[in-house]
Amino acid sequence: MRHLILLFTIATLAGCGVETATTAATGASIKKQEVEEGKRTQERAGQRIEQMQEQMQQRAQQAADK
């Protein structure tokens, strides 16, 4: 009977370890996706800023030409 209880306890604890590792891996994967999305957002914002600067320069040039 003791062996059965010991075996059950070990199996239960091993299961908890697997669940913890799976949860950690899932959390890391989600965080990686968030970081990648943040980088893409930053790149898009940089492109928009460059476009706006070009438009401002063109407008300034047009105003100077008039």
CB atoms within 10 A of CB 64: 7
Give the pLDDT confidence score for residue 21 in this predicted structure: 65
Would you give per-residue pLDDT tens digits along the chain (66 residues)?
777 777 667 666 665 655 666 777 788 888 899 999 999 999 999 999 999 999 999 999 998 887
Give the pLDDT confidence score for residue 16 in this predicted structure: 60
- The residue ranges of every structural domain in the chain are 33-66
Give the pLDDT confidence score for residue 29 in this predicted structure: 87
pTM of the model: 0.57
Tell whether the torsion through CA atoms of 34, 35, 41 and 44 is positive or negative: negative
